[in-house]
Amino acid sequence: MTPKEREDFYDREIAPALLDLANRCAENGLSFCAMAEWDAGETGRTMKVREDAGIGIKMALWAMQATGNADKLIWAMQQHGKEHGHNSICLHMLEPLPRS
């Protein structure tokens, strides 16, 4: 299959099935994230994440939304850490030092 054929297959068959699964999960209180890639860097995403979801699913969501951009992922994690606190050594290393 060519990348275009894979994308068409995704659009025609996979995306609707994933959306159905995401909706069924949401109706029953579950969060859902899925991502498919038909060519390098070309992806489709389906996600329904509860407001009170745990950090693991949130990190998966942020990674999907970052689409390979590490800065976007790190910024999302930093923002969440500033708002909710964290115990990440790496995020602490990125925090600015207090001024004296």
CA dihedral sign, ordered 39, 42, 44, 45: positive
d(CA 27, CA 47): 13
Q: Read off the pTM.
A: 0.82
Query: What does the pLDDT look like over 28-62, one tens digit per residue?
Result: 999 999 999 999 999 999 999 999 999 999 999 99
Give the model's pLDDT for residue 100.
Answer: 62
